[in-house]
Amino acid sequence: MRLDLQRYNRLLWAVNGTLLLAGLIVLLVTGLTALWPSRDRGQSLPAGVPATTADAPSRAAILRLGLPKPLKGTDTLLVPVEGLPQESEEPRGIGSYSKGAPNVPLFNLLFVDAKTLASRPLLARKSLILRYDTLEDGEEARSARVDGLLVSIVDSDTNGNGRLDEGDEARIWLCDASGRNLRAVTAAGTTCANWQYDSLRRTVYLVVETRSDARKAESAEVLAVPIDGSQPARPLASKAQMDELRNLLQH
């Protein structure tokens, strides 16, 4: 009888000890959970832990349409499109925000049919337009017309700063008066700051500079580009002529 009573007491102590240990574990887990920072409960992150991109302050997207410009001799209206994408304080898109008013760049052109108001954008990817000119036939009479557009476009982050801006390389593109048949007329690694349209010959002349790795102009030539695309861009002076002229400088 004494043996059964001792066995019962040992079993009772074992059960009580197990329950006590389980209770202590539950209290310990509950306490750690209450102290652990949680976003769902609105608690802040510990010091030194950066917030995620989603928590960073951001700027609202900006989109502006300019007043339409009728293109002479056509049924097309040209509408400039300015904009900045929604970005954080460290923008990674087009242009940049300033402490005051943001600098909102031109990033597209809308070609609108004046009769039906149907519209189409010139560009189908994120780009930056530095400059554009309408190529007009030069006549002042009512028969004057726009033959096409010449556009300076940045579409690659060549300076590696994470956005498209004036520090990136721009290429010159040509399209017709309806915004179609867009094609590049200058090559990568070149710059073009000046051009002129010859409406009689329907040809654009561009002063194109080739740059070295140091981004300094090594040479400049004039390219003749027919706007109808019938022929590729051709230099007004051949390479042999350019070499001959360069040799004159040395003697």
Whether residue 7 lies inside any domain: the answer is no
Q: Look at residue 99 and tell me whether its pLDDT is greater than 50.
A: no
Is the residue at 168 inside a domain? Answer: yes
Contacts of 154 (CB under 8 A, 6+ apart): 127, 128, 129, 130, 164, 165, 166, 168, 169, 170
Measured CA to CA, the distance from residue 204 to residue 109 in angstroms comes to 21
pLDDT in tens, 4-43: 656 666 666 666 666 666 666 766 666 656 555 444 433 3
What digits encode the pLDDT tens for the residues 181-197?
999 999 988 889 899 99
Residue 249's CB: how many other CB atoms inside 10 A?
6
Residue with tokens 């209450």: 34
Q: How many whole angstroms separate alpha carbon 52 and alpha carbon 189? A: 37
First to last CA, the chain: 128
On whether residue 20 sits in a domain, the answer given is no
Assigned domain for 27 exists? no
| Number of domains, the chain | 1
Report the CATH number at residue 83: 2.40.128
Rounded to two decimals, what is the model's pTM?
0.67
- Provide the domain limits for residue 73: 57-249
> Is pLDDT at 102 greater than 80 in this prediction?
no
